[in-house]
Each structure stands twice: as C-alpha cells, then as structure tokens.
C-alpha cells in the first residue's frame, strides 16, 4: 500500500525533507512528508525550546546542527562576567549585543575583553543597531586567566514548553513509522492539544506526556552510541494504546500516550537509536522493529517526585558528565601521544623547551594539583592548633585567587605554578631522555598521584622548610 503523504494535522499536501529528529539537536534524517509547510513552521518554536534547554549539553559535546558548519556555543554568566562554552573550552564572551544595558555610554572610553579583534569588530557592528557607533581606540595584549573557583552554571530543563515539544517529537516519530495509524481520527484529541499555542496552562500534565524516571536500559538494551538519544514508538497489544518513550542522552527521559488506534501492520514497535555526533544521515541512527511493544512504554515507571527525591535525576546527570569526562580523557591522551611523537623528533637542545610548552598547555591541571597539596597542608596545620596559625595564613597566600591581577592569580601562586610546571617538565625531559615516557605517564604527572608526590617533594617541602625555619 502506498504511503500517505498528506499533513497529519490538516490533510493538505505534505512537504518533504523536514527532520524527524530536530536538525538543531543533531538529527540528520529527513521524513517522508508528515506535515504541510504551514504546520512544519508552526511547530518550529517547539524545537527551539528543546534546543535552548539542551544547549549546554550539546555545546559540551560540540554537536553540530544538521546542515551547519559548526556547533552552537552555550553562553552563561558567572561572577558578573559572560562566558562561552564549547567543547572543553570556556572563553570570555562579548557582552550580549541584544541587551541595551551592554551598550557603553557615548563618548566615554570603556574596557571590554574579546577573544579576538574580529570578534570585537563584529560586536561593534551589532551594537550599532542601538544607535551607537563603536570605535576601537587601543588594543591590549591577550592574556590567559586561571579560574580558581568553579563556574556557576544554572541549568533549567523542563516546564510545559518542553513537554509540548516532546509531544510533538513523539507524534512525528509515530507518523514516520506508523503513517496510516497516525492519520486515524482517534488521535485527533492529541493533535488538537499539540497545535494549541504553548501557554502557561499545563495541558500536558500527566495524562499525555510526563517525565520518566526509568532510563532506556530499563526498557531496551543500552544505546549503542556514547551520547545517543533513544526514541521508542509503537502500539500496545491488547489495549491498542499508541505510546512513545523519548530519552535524551540516556538521562532526560519522557513517556507519551498519544491515544488509541486500530493497528494496521504486523510491526508493533520501533526503537530508534540516534547518534547526534554522527556526521552523515546514513550513520546517524539505527532502527529496530519488533512485533510487540514493551508493556512499560507509555506506563509510569517512576514519578517525577520519586525521580527527584530518589536522587535518580541527579545520578543520571552525573552519569552524563562522567561520560563527557571519559571522552575528555581520551582526547587528552591522544593529544599527548602526538606531543610525545614530536618530542622524539626534535633536536636535543630544543627538547626541554618543548617539555615546558607541553606542561604549560595543561597548566590549569597543574594549578589544581598544586592547590590540592597546599590545601591539604593547610588543613593539617590547622588541625594541630592555634600556634600553627601563622603557617596556615602563610600557606593561604599560595592558593588565593586575585581577580585584579592579569592572570587571575596572586603573585605567590603564579610563582609557585611556574616552579611546579618546571619541575614536571624536567621530569618529562629526564624520562624521555631514557626513553621511558608515555602519554599515560604524562597524565599521571599533570593530574595523578605521581605528579602530586613530585610536587610535594620539590615544591611544598621547600615552601614549608622556609616557614618552619621561621617558627623555630
């Protein structure tokens, strides 16, 4: 039988080529005509809600929206400054040009930081729409700032907009795999709710779409992609309930009930695993068809209340961040392998400088190591009693940040960080001379116990020997 090609909402001729899983979230496959042009456009804002709420995760993974060249960064404010996160990097971001309060006063020179001159110029062009012309009068050297305190990022996810968007996704997927059932009159109520404007009135609460505590592994096998999304659509045998389950990154999960239908095919369930990291449509998803839909799809596995109070939501987010951190470690290892290959090939007299360069690139990690050592020593002396207060205070100046300084660190901390980097570079240099260095060894030095022990002996012991002599 020929596949219907009329809009599932209004029956007009359906266009083709719209994404079943949103392009903005890395969906790369297009459908066979589910919505007419008008309805496709009508649902666009729903995708925008999802994109906004998932932006931090997508930016972290550098997910490239389909048909675009690069990933979209995530902007956030922390301690009065605006930052941009993409992949493993956080950069200073220009003030939001759409915000009128970011416009500098006319005729008064102001200091602003940008990643590059071209970015500053672009910001100037965007600001012009507020009726102000920006002239760059003086440029300063670029600088690297160490961030000692963690960034504070507030994420919001959910709300009725996201439930509405999830309902739309569920219907699109159901129509993709069950085209004739999706056009049955019995789904009219669900569609009627879907075309309503997204309002504060929570029409979706509970009955049609809800947050789900159970992850995809509770229902189907684990997603084969490391950051894959899972969508299950199908029809329950017995009740004929058309149901869906949608999980983003295997950590934000939803269940959907679309209504009752008359099944017209043998196939009763389709599981789709979507890989937002894939670069081509062909590699972007895997489908699995079955003759029975798991009874748990469209059932309440765990209420939102249980989800939050039982700590499962937090655990799922923690699991996502752990997976991100595993990927980062892998990337770091590969980058270091390349560095060590270069190290082997350079002339003998250039080797030490290259070792320093390598360690300097990861000096953020070295700073964390050094701070950990000093903090441990600080709490040790603090536990010995008030007579050690001078030592505690002395140590504190090595772990204090200093927002006014050009690199964000106090003078003492900067000096000790440099010394620490030299100690580690020296160790890499010595070991590489004996042919005894691997990327894993370098990681152990900049992040692990090996590095800690070395810095304890070479740096902390010296700091303490100076101050303990003072006490005696």
Which stretches of the chain bind Zn ion, using CB under 5 A?
A: 7, 9-10, 36, 39
CB 36, min distance to Zn ion, A = 3
Q: Compute the Cα dihedral for 22, 272, 242, 183 and give only its sign.
A: positive
Contact of 174 with 242, CB cutoff 8 Å: yes
- Closer residue to Zn ion (CB): 36 or 343: 36
CB of 67 to Zn ion, least distance (A): 23
Nearest approach, Cβ of residue 446 and Zn ion (Å): 57
Side-chain half-sphere CA neighbours of 237 within 13 A: 10
Asked if 170 contacts 259 with a C-beta cutoff of 8 angstroms, the reply is no
Cβ neighbors of 366 (< 8 A, separation 6 or more) are 359, 417, 420, 421, 424, 446, 451
The smaller minimum CB distance to Zn ion, of residues 35 and 227, is found at 35
Cα(248)–Cα(404) distance, integer angstroms: 41
Compute the least distance from the CB of residue 81 to Zn ion, in Å.
46
Q: Which residue is nearest to Zn ion (CB)?
A: 7
Name the minimum Å distance from CB 252 to Zn ion: 29
Could you tell me the smallest distance in angstroms from the CB atom of residue 182 to Zn ion? 13
Q: Please, which residue, 36 or 85, has the CB nearer to Zn ion? A: 36
Nearest to 183 by CA among 295, 277, 258, 281: 258
Task: Please identify, using beta-carbon distances, which residue of 39 and 371 lies nearer to Zn ion.
Answer: 39
Residue nearer to Zn ion on the CB measure, 15 or 259: 15
Q: Terminus-to-terminus CA distance in the chain, angstroms?
A: 94
Q: Which is nearer to Zn ion, 28 or 191 (CB)?
A: 191
The CB-of-169 to Zn ion minimum distance in angstroms stands at 17
- Of the candidates 98, 94, 95, 74, the one whose C-alpha atom is nearest the C-alpha of residue 84 is 74
User: Nearer Cβ to Zn ion, position 112 or 183?
Assistant: 183
Strands ordered across the beta sheet of 252-260: 209-212, 252-260, 241-248, 229-235, 269-274, 285-290
* Residue 400 φ/ψ, nearest 5 degrees: -95, 140
């Amino acid at each position: 039988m020929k596949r219907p090609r009329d809009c599932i909402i209004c029956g007009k001729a359906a266009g083709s080529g719209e994404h079943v899983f949103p392009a903005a979230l890395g969906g790369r496959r297009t459908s066979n005509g589910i919505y007419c042009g008008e309805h496709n456009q009508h649902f666009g804002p729903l995708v925008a809600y999802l994109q906004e709420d998932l932006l931090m995760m997508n930016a972290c993974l550098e997910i490239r929206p389909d048909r675009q060249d690069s990933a979209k960064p995530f902007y956030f404010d922390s301690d009065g400054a605006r930052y941009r996160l993409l992949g493993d990097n956080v950069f200073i971001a220009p003030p939001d040009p759409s915000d009128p309060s970011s416009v500098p006063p006319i005729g008064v020179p102001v200091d602003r930081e940008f990643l590059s001159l071209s970015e500053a110029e672009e910001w100037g062009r965007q600001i012009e729409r507020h009726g102000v012309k920006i002239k760059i009068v003086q440029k300063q050297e670029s600088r690297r700032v160490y961030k000692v305190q963690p960034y504070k990022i507030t994420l919001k996810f959910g709300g009725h907009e996201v439930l509405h968007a999830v309902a739309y996704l569920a219907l699109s997927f159901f129509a993709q795999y069950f085209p004739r059932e999706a056009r049955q009159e019995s789904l009219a109520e669900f569609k009627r709710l879907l075309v309503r404007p997204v309002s504060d009135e929570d029409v979706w609460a509970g009955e049609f779409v809800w947050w789900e505590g159970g992850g995809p592994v509770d229902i189907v096998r684990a997603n084969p992609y490391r950051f894959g999304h899972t969508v299950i659509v199908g029809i329950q045998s017995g009740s004929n309930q058309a149901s869906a389950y949608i999980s983003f990154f295997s950590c934000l999960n939803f269940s959907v009930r679309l209504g009752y239908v008359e099944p017209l095919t043998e196939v009763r369930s389709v599981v789709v695993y979507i890989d937002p990291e894939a670069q081509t449509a062909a590699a972007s998803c895997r489908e699995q068809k079955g003759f029975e839909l798991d009874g748990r799809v469209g059932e309440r596995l765990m209420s939102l209340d249980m989800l939050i109070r039982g700590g499962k939501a937090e655990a799922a987010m923690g699991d996502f961040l752990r997976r991100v951190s595993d990927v980062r470690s892998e990337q770091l290892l590969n980058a270091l392998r390349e560095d060590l290959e270069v190290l082997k090939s350079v002339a003998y007299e250039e080797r030490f400088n290259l070792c320093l360069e390598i360690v300097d690139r990861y000096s953020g990690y070295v700073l964390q190591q050094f701070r950990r050592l000093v903090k441990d020593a600080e709490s040790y002396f603090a536990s010995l009693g008030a007579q050690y207060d001078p030592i505690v205070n002395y140590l504190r100046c090595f772990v204090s940040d200093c927002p006014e300084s050009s690199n964000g660190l106090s003078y003492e901390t900067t000096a000790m960080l440099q010394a620490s980097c030299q100690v580690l570079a020296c160790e890499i240099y010595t070991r590489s001379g004996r042919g005894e260095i691997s990327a894993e060894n370098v990681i152990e030095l900049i992040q692990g116990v090996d590095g800690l022990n070395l810095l304890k002996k070479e740096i902390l012991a010296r700091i303490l020997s100076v101050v303990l002599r003072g006490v005696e």
